[in-house]
Structure formats: C-alpha cells, structure tokens
Amino acid sequence: MIKKRFTSLLLTTILLLSSISNIFAVNIATIGLDPSLIATYLAEDESQNTEIINVVNNFIMSHIRPNMTDFEKEIEIIKYLVATVTYDIDELSNDSFFINDSYKAYGALVNHKAVCSGYAKAFDLMAKTCGLSTTVVTGEAINSASQNGAHAWNRIYLDGEWYNVDVTFEDPITNITLQANQLFNNYINCTDAEFASNHIRETGHSCTATKYGKNVVTYYLNTGVVDLNANVDLLRKQYVQEIAMYSLANDENGKKSAIDKLLLIGAKYDNNSNFIASNNDLEITTYILTHLVAGENVVTVVTGPNTQNLFSIDSGTWLNDYITIPGRCTMQRVFSSDGKFDTRILIFKFG
C-alpha cells in the first residue's frame, strides 16, 4: 500500500510541478523505478515519503531549467548531492547488516547522511524524476589499502551512450570544502577502463563512451559552457596567470582562490608538455628559458614523483644563478596530489 501511495503521490506532485513550471511532464513509466527496489529507495511511512517528494521537487524548482540538456541536469544533481550529503562513517563498522535509512534515498535526501547505496539510489531517483535514463550498479570497490568491499554506483545514458558515475567517491569523506560549482571530477562520466583500477561491477551495460568525459565536465564546471571539444589547458594557463597576478599584488585571497581552482583541474597539461619527471636542474632551466625566449612571462613547471626537495631550485640563490633575465622574478611553490603520486608545481612570473 505504501508503494502505491508513494507512486501516486509522486506522479501527482510531478504533474503539478510541470503545470506550474513548464519544466517537463513525467509519468511513472518514465520514472522507471524497478518495483522490486522501490521499498529500498523509500522510508517506512507515508509522511517520510512525502519528505522525499518535497526535497526532489524543491531541487527541480531551484536547479532545473526548461532548456537544460541531460548532461547539465546530471551535473546539477551530482553537485547537489555532494553539497548536501555526508558519508555515514558509522556504518563502516556496522556488522549487523541492518538496512537503515542510510542505505536508502531517504537517508541521502532527508537525513543528509548515507552510504554508497543511499547516494546511488538518491542519484537514480532524482535523475529519473528529471527525465534521465540511469541505473544503479552493484559490485565491489577497492580502497587505498587494497581491500575489497561491497559498493554501489550509477550509470547514465547520454546521447545514446552509457557512462559510469560514482557520487560516493566524488564526495570526500574528509571535511574538504570545495568552491561553488566545483567538484573533484574523478568519478563523473567515466569508462569501464577508467573505473577498472578500483571498481568491480557485477553485471550491466558496458561503458566505453568519452564524449561527455573528464575534459567536458571540467570545462563546464569552470565556465558553465558545454564544449565537446573543450581545451582545459586554456583554463590551466588562465589560473597560472591569475596566481602570478595576485602574487605580485600581494592578494593572498585571490591567489589562494586561483591555486584551489588549478589544483582541482590538475596542473599538468593534457599533452604533458609542462611536466618534467626529472630532478635535473639543467633540464628545468632549459625548459624555463625556452619559454622565456618564446615571449612568455609566466612559466609553469610540474615535477614528477620522487623529486620533492631534490632540486637546487629550492635554494635562495637559484634564480640568480640560473635565470639571468633582467627584471623582477617571483616563484610560487604549489604542492599537490593527483591521488596517484605527489607532484610539485613551480610557477615563475617574470617582469
């Protein structure tokens, strides 16, 4: 009875929303919840199910516009869940196998606390309500200690192709504050090959599409523009210029903001042309001078693993000893990690 009441109430509220906002019209067939899973999405009583409906409807009214593409709706849903849901760490030590609200969409959407199952079901429910085609994927995840554990994530169908999405992994367990419109973008619209290092799926659609992959997501998050030929290196160069500008102006807040944006998208160019996996001073010096001769006044060097604190570049005399270009030169050291190995970013501003 609860299931029938919920679907009826959900249909009524969505149709009412459609008539008010002209966003879209959805019926239960379009929502497409697997009847065998409906109970695991919902709460235990009608009043709590009403809370779920209110949250989803309020999200649609606040975040979904009539002309948005499926890709744009997807990103809005992910951003909303990352901003409003906290991973239920207590459940990591729960050996009772009791399926509480954190395993359901209710936990994520109303309690703002969930485990991977709750994240995945909340994404699936919100996406289907917005007219997107998605599924919940079950399998295993491999943590940083190389331990396997049961896990759930999603797939989404965009322009005729399937992509992997893991909102749980996209949302940090640690208390890390992201800037507005920013996500780590490590687990959005990935292929099976990209997920293979730490995701083992049971069954389901294979995901090989790259059309709406990392570069497109990154560019959209930073510019609000959907560009299927996005050049993220242009953004990296822009943020490097901003870091230098704010440094010269002694604007610490502006510099920190630009550094944060650079670290989120990664400092290495897509073609790795600014990446040096060496601790050879001469190699780095040659790289910098080559760019100066080419007329650049801001030069970025990204160093590889195992190079921390090995360069004489860290000494106070290095700039005078190796860079004899007249004029003022400043250097910023930015330390970063891409999740695989540590990197150091050296940003030089001349003139």
Q: Where are the domains of the chain?
A: 2-230, 233-350
Q: Which two tokens stand for residue 186?
A: 């490590």
Buried b / exposed e along 143-172 (16+ C-beta atoms within 10 A): eeeeeeeebbbbbbbbeeebbbbbbbbbbe
Residue among 201, 75, 52 at smallest CA distance from 132: 75
What is the pLDDT, as a whole number, of residue 112? 95
Report for 2-11, 35-44, 95-104, 227-236: range of highest mean pLDDT: 227-236
pLDDT digits (tens, 9 = 90+) for 202-220: 877 799 999 999 999 999 9
What is the pLDDT, as a whole number, of residue 286? 83
DSSP H/E element including 153: strand 148-158
Class of domain 2-230: alpha beta
Query: Mean pLDDT for the chain?
Result: 78
What is the pLDDT, as a whole number, of residue 308? 53
Alpha carbons 191 and 314: distance in angstroms, whole number: 40
What is the pLDDT, as a whole number, of residue 7? 43
Supply angle C-alpha 190, 74, 63, rounded to 5: 155
Collapsing DSSP to helix, strand or coil, 212 comes out as coil
